[in-house]
Structure 1
Amino acid sequence: MKFNQPLTNEELQQMRQKLTDRPGHKIVANAVMSNGINKTATNAKVIAKLNRTFSVEIDTGTVANQKHSGRCWLFSILNTLRHQFATQYKVKDFELSQSYLFFWDKIERANIFYDRMIALAGRPTTDRDVDFYLSSPGTDGGQWAMAAALVQKYGVVPRETFPETAVTEDTSDFDMLLNRKMRHDAMKLRALVNGGATDAEIADTKQQFMDQIFRITGQSVGVPPEKFDLEYRDDDKKYHLDQGLTPKEFYDKYIGIDLDQYVVLTNSPDKKYDEMYALPSQDNIEGGKHIEFLNEPMDQLKEAAIKQLQAGETIWFGNDVLQQMDRQKGLLDSDLFEQDELFGLDTKMTKAERLEYHEAEVSHAMTLTGVDLVDGKPTKWKVENSWGSKIGNKGYFVMADNWMDDYTYEVVVKKDYLCDETKKVLDKAPIMLEAWDSLE
């Protein structure tokens, strides 16, 4: 084939003939067109090996449902926190309010977005940083540290205290409105800065925009309570009432987990191991917790995760759930769909290559609640998702260890479970990552 030339009829005819002459072409075509690619390429042996028995398993109750929203990072951290409350206070299906943190994230994220637009007003909109911030100012997605920062500043409340709304269950319209408004506001703020407006004029305008964001969010999600009464009946049917709690008081009294004692262990082999990395472009709270990663080989992520599960504590983990997943059955295995074999291809890439060439991303956050160890080595993991109870086994997935290796990028573990050499890396100054890094 020639380069930089239109395709000719002769070349197209050659490609057509090669396809027609390929052995098994009609059988493959009929199967794929009738059933779809993944159903045709399903590896039956994988399904057989992914049973749901685990040697280490934490009883975590009914799963939550994020519905049509991108709040998995909030659901996952609140899952780990509610598991602690449920165990200590014997309330198996207790749930914390995802809407509560969602509200404050929208307010904080608008504030930091406006500050960034003011600070970068001297750069053109084609600047890569400015372009990144403008691409999705009102997005739902986030990182563990962003959720931790919200909890540290605002505390948490039970789900019944601040329930879901039509907007939180389907954030599409809300996100579109926020994106449009915040881009419009960015245009106005940049014009003020570049037009020589005083700091007071810029600050007043920003405050007007913040008031409007608060109004939109409050009228769509509700305004979070400043105080509430904790009322519940435990699994032994005993009644409990604690009145007049602030969300911070509730967190400190009933959950009390020091989130600064946790670290995001990352496996990003496109970067140097034994280094700290930071992603300041995605910090969501001015003066809040920063997004930082400790990059290590995969065996260290798994070792720390196993120790934490054995200690009875579930784990937030970031992954690329869209890869090699049977959503309805709740199965994750690197060999689940044999697409290459079906079409006679070789598209295999290493994890580092997938990150470098945009084939990989951290698209989802879920919760590890169990692991199956054979001769001390993990073979599969139990995963609590946030897609409701009608998928998988009552909302739970089973993840093969090969999928853990290939498509898991982050686990959040206590620093206590790191080996001594890895703990030393925590003292290193973090390397700052660009906004468009593969871990974004």
Structure 2
Amino acid sequence: MSFAISNDDIANFRADYDNRRDSQVLERAVTKNGVRNASFDWHSIKDNDPHFSIDLKTGNVADQKQSGRCWMFAALNTMRHDMQQKFNLPDNFELSQSYQFFWDKFEKANYFYENVLKTAKKDADSRKVAWLMATPQSDGGQWDMLCALIEKYGVVPKTAMPESFNSNNSRGINEVLNNKLRHDAVILRKMVNEDNASDDELNTARQKMLNEVYRILAYAFGEPATHFDFEYRTKKDNEYHRDANLTPQEFFKKYVGWNLEDYVSIIQAPTADKEYHKTYTIDMLGNVVGGRQIKHLNLPMDEFKQLAIDQLKGGESVWFGSDVVKYSETKLGIMALNTYRYNELFDVDLDMTKAQMLDYGQSMMDHAMVLTGVDLVDGQPTKWKVENSWGNKVGHKGYFVMSDDWMDQYCFQIVINKKYLSEKLLKEQAQEPIVLKPWDPMGTLA
């Protein structure tokens, strides 16, 4: 059955519109102010004041500028929070995001070549190949991907590899890299399908391609540090410290000192295809070939939130991934379901369950931030303090307030130290993961 819109239909729609007493008033308000401003509910300001019963000290907020490095900023922020407490570092201390950015893009190129060769026999219009070629690499990532980078390359302070134009504004370098990777995919697929190239020939071609990628990245970001001096003054007494000729791996071991295997990903995905208390990974998703696998333990929301609360109570901030744009007011720093009243403004029903939004593409994880506080009333969370990476000119000097019901609907992932997991959850987390399709929403890069 097909349905074409007739003139009678349009006449009926016009009549319904004209018969509504508030149509003209709302039309003037929305056309003048826009949908978001016209639907904004000022009650969300008073309902989400920035005071929390648990509130960690975390220093200044970083700024990812015009780049998609939120996952990287959020992860490095959780580490610097710990470092600031251990070594009395100043509030403006940061770990180098540019250093990780360089190696992430370099490793993603190699990971892409790996997947090109794995799928070389498939038709170019197959869903897997089309998915691969849609975005050969991007700025985004997930927690396990950063762990893979750190385990291989370590970390450096921002003074050892500062920001560049291209790390702050990544659109141009992404255009070039994706152009090159698609160009190289054509060559590799031809070598496999038409030239019957040997593994040695493919490896030689791949090495040449990676050498060119390295050169592009070095021009764009500068070469990453191999040795450096770490100098700083303590926050309280201004005492000078200098640690000379460190490697990135030595710096991570000495100043961060985390066992990254202790930190695991917990997801909240209530879709029918993902049973709770099972682990999942995503096909063709990663950055370091042979590095740490992406792995998620799926839990109900009450268990998910309790783990975040326990870690905050323990004095550790929490990396988390969410759909940040939904019902979020950036300038005021509010993430709450009552921020915008679209249903009431348009007199329509836009409500969907979390599972429905994931299944039908209405929502997915697109941004990573850090939980640094929570407000507990009678032991239950009412709102959460969020450290963003958009600088200090938004929200409350860069910090946001997230209502608890917003977390229920739009928060999908947290990273938790294993010491906060029960024996039962530890056994569940150790399960062999079920492999999801490459385009599964839990594979979205923050």
Instruction: Give me the whole-angstrom Cα distance separating, in 1, the residues matched to 2:269 and 2:325.
Output: 18
- Superposed CA deviations along residues 183-212 of structure 1, whole A, max 9, x for unmatched, are 010011100111212222211111111011
Matched ranges for 1:50-69 at <5 A: 50-69=48-67
Residue 65 of structure 1 aligns to a residue whose secondary structure is coil
Residue 343 of structure 2 aligns to a residue whose secondary structure is helix
- State the one-letter code of the partner of 1:79: N
* Structure 1 residue 225: Cα displacement: 1.1
How many residue pairs were aligned? 438
Alignment partner, residue 406 of structure 1: 409
- Superposed CA deviations along residues 304-354 of structure 1, whole A, max 9, x for unmatched, are 111111111111000000101001101000121110111101111111111
State the percentage of identical aligned residues.
42
* Structure 1 residue 20: Cα displacement: 1.5
Alignment partner, residue 382 of structure 2: 379
- State the one-letter code of the partner of 1:348: D
* Structure 1 residue 7: Cα displacement: 2.3
Instruction: Give me the whole-angstrom Cα distance separating, in 2, the residues matched to 1:54 and 1:301.
Output: 19
- C-alpha contact 2:115 2:284 (8 A) present in aligned 1: no
Instruction: Give me the whole-angstrom Cα distance separating, in 1, the residues matched to 2:94 and 2:167.
Output: 16
* Structure 1 residue 217: Cα displacement: 0.3
1:188 aligns with 2:191: no
Instruction: Give me the whole-angstrom Cα distance separating, in 1, the residues matched to 2:199 and 2:153.
Output: 29
Alignment partner, residue 136 of structure 2: 137
* Structure 1 residue 8: Cα displacement: 2.2
Alignment partner, residue 110 of structure 2: 111
Matched ranges for 1:65-80 at <5 A: 65-80=63-78
Instruction: Give me the whole-angstrom Cα distance separating, in 2, the residues matched to 1:120 and 1:347.
Output: 40
Alignment partner, residue 4 of structure 1: 2
> Please, which of 393, 396, 421 is the counterpart of residue 396 of structure 2?
393
Matched ranges for 1:344-383 at <5 A: 344-383=347-386
Q: CA RMSD in A?
A: 1.0
Residue 378 of structure 1 aligns to a residue whose secondary structure is strand
- C-alpha contact 1:86 1:93 (8 A) present in aligned 2: no
* Structure 1 residue 70: Cα displacement: 0.6
1:309 aligns with 2:331: no
Alignment partner, residue 173 of structure 2: 174
What is the TM-score of this pair, normalised by structure 2?
0.97
- C-alpha contact 2:112 2:137 (8 A) present in aligned 1: no
Instruction: Give me the whole-angstrom Cα distance separating, in 2, the residues matched to 1:18 and 1:180.
Output: 51
Residue 306 of structure 2 aligns to a residue whose secondary structure is helix
Residue 315 of structure 2 aligns to a residue whose secondary structure is coil
- State the one-letter code of the partner of 2:369: M
Alignment partner, residue 298 of structure 1: 301
- Superposed CA deviations along residues 192-247 of structure 1, whole A, max 9, x for unmatched, are 11121222221111111101100000000111011000011111200000001000
Residue 257 of structure 1 aligns to a residue whose secondary structure is coil
Instruction: Give me the whole-angstrom Cα distance separating, in 2, the residues matched to 1:149 and 1:272.
Output: 27
Q: Which runs of 5+ in 1 are unaligned?
A: none
Matched ranges for 1:100-249 at <5 A: 100-195=99-194, 196-235=196-235, 236-249=237-250
- Superposed CA deviations along residues 274-311 of structure 1, whole A, max 9, x for unmatched, are 10001142111111111110000011111111111111
Alignment partner, residue 331 of structure 2: 328
* Structure 1 residue 128: Cα displacement: 1.3
Residue 123 of structure 2 aligns to a residue whose secondary structure is coil
Matched ranges for 1:26-105 at <5 A: 26-91=24-89, 92-105=91-104
* Structure 1 residue 4: Cα displacement: 2.3
- C-alpha contact 1:60 1:83 (8 A) present in aligned 2: yes
What is the TM-score of this pair, normalised by structure 1?
0.98
Instruction: Give me the whole-angstrom Cα distance separating, in 2, the residues matched to 1:95 and 1:14.
Output: 61
* Structure 1 residue 359: Cα displacement: 0.7
- Superposed CA deviations along residues 334-384 of structure 1, whole A, max 9, x for unmatched, are 121110111101111111111111111101000000111111111111000
* Structure 1 residue 16: Cα displacement: 1.8
- State the one-letter code of the partner of 1:232: Y
Instruction: Give me the whole-angstrom Cα distance separating, in 2, the residues matched to 1:80 and 1:32.
Output: 41
Residue 372 of structure 1 aligns to a residue whose secondary structure is strand
* Structure 1 residue 86: Cα displacement: 0.7
Q: Which runs of 5+ in 2 are unaligned?
A: none
Instruction: Give me the whole-angstrom Cα distance separating, in 1, the residues matched to 2:422 and 2:39.
Output: 41
* Structure 1 residue 5: Cα displacement: 4.4
Alignment partner, residue 419 of structure 2: 416
* Structure 1 residue 80: Cα displacement: 0.3
Instruction: Give me the whole-angstrom Cα distance separating, in 2, the residues matched to 1:71 and 1:153.
Output: 19
Instruction: Give me the whole-angstrom Cα distance separating, in 1, the residues matched to 2:53 and 2:59.
Output: 18
Instruction: Give me the whole-angstrom Cα distance separating, in 1, the residues matched to 2:295 and 2:186.
Output: 31
Residue 186 of structure 2 aligns to a residue whose secondary structure is helix
* Structure 1 residue 429: Cα displacement: 1.5
Instruction: Give me the whole-angstrom Cα distance separating, in 2, the residues matched to 1:155 and 1:308.
Output: 24
> Relative to structure 1, is the Cα distance of residues 199 and 420 closer, same or farther in structure 2, using a 3 angstrom cutoff?
closer
Instruction: Give me the whole-angstrom Cα distance separating, in 2, the residues matched to 1:72 and 1:45.
Output: 29
Residue 6 of structure 1 aligns to a residue whose secondary structure is coil
- State the one-letter code of the partner of 1:49: D
1:260 aligns with 2:258: no
- C-alpha contact 1:319 1:361 (8 A) present in aligned 2: yes
Instruction: Give me the whole-angstrom Cα distance separating, in 2, the residues matched to 1:51 and 1:435.
Output: 40
- State the one-letter code of the partner of 1:261: D
- Superposed CA deviations along residues 157-188 of structure 1, whole A, max 9, x for unmatched, are 01111000010111011101111110010011
- C-alpha contact 1:280 1:290 (8 A) present in aligned 2: no
Instruction: Give me the whole-angstrom Cα distance separating, in 1, the residues matched to 2:129 and 2:319.
Output: 31
